[in-house]
Structure 1
Amino acid sequence: MKTQAQQTIGWLRVKAFTRSELVLVVTTTVFLLATMAMAGRQAWRESKRTVCGNHLRVISQGFLQFSSQDGRLPQAARIHQPKPLDWIYWQLDREFESSALAPFCPDWRLERLQCPLDTRWADRSYLATYTMNGYTERAMVRDMGPPGKILVAEQERPNDGCWGPGLGEEPLTRRHQGRAGVAFADGHVQFIRTYVKEER
């Protein structure tokens, strides 16, 4: 007849995992944790993309309000040609709050002009992410052509407030899964693939 200790050990052997079962449980757990981490990362990136799109929407509405009052769009804030009607005053010797677009954009501050995923500031003097299409400078909105014309774009490493579509040295970003945020002349915002040739 078995002692109490032998019965307990026998019961534990019956209830314990086999090696293959343990490997299966560990593998399943690791897979579920990895899937949850990837889903969380994707949700985080999607939330940042939404914030970026909202920034572009506010800025594009500011451009449209400026043009409805002034009759034309502002100037493009080029690096060597500061003008009184530059849409953004970004140079150190100019007051950011006095930018031409400031009265038309609620909560005008630098954070509104930065994509939350854009963190490469150390080697740039222009700290905003978004730039104006230089070919639309001082244009009247009704004369800008088709509504598919880009007004504001999200550049990878902008050096001033002006973007030159089609110029290889001024590429749009790819930080949104190969896409860049842009605002069009009719006010809508979209994330486009950066290999698409932008219209001038």
Structure 2
Amino acid sequence: MTTAKPNSGFLDGQFLIAMPTMGDKRFERTVIYLCAHSEQGAMGIVINKLAPDIRFRDLLSQLDIGEPTGPEGEQEVEQIRVHRGGPVETGRGFVLHSCDFFLEDATLPISDEVCLTATLDVLRAIADGKGPSEALLALGYAGWAPGQLEMEIQSNGWLNGPADNAILFDSDLETKYDRALSKIGVAEGRLSSLSGHA
């Protein structure tokens, strides 16, 4: 089920961590989970920024999915927060989730532990209390043209390192950036002197 390409130089299933020198305000202090990376470009989801003024319950209503069913669904709906996944296709929802939930022809396995589903069916399952045990819902994504991400990493825009599900799915957004840096052995104060990748 693993889709990451060992020793290929591609970074699927890793974290991208914005350097303090990041010139794009949309990505300041962001941690991105990289869902796909190949010669065709890259796509990832920002995991530490909330979408302003949008609740999961309101999203269900807007999409005509209806109210949650049963106590499990109610609990799930209250726990899920809507993230700002990136500046591309901001009206489209993406769910990063644990691999205990899988929809044939809709779910993309990214690693042995994380999948991506971008259909309404996963939202319905969550509302019914039958969704994945861990999930992060985001509107929009971050995308890069062929070779663009590699250039940004080389020009000191990003660090990359192994993803950590405890960081990915945790609701403590304020500390995700520092914890992702710490995971690769870097303190924010030392970043300005670094270049390249971890």
TM category (shorter chain) comes to under 0.3
RCO higher in 1 or 2 (8 Å CA, sep ≥ 6)?
2
In our comparison, the structure showing a higher alpha carbon Rg is 1
* TM-score, scaled relative to structure 2: 0.27
Structure number with higher strand proportion: 2
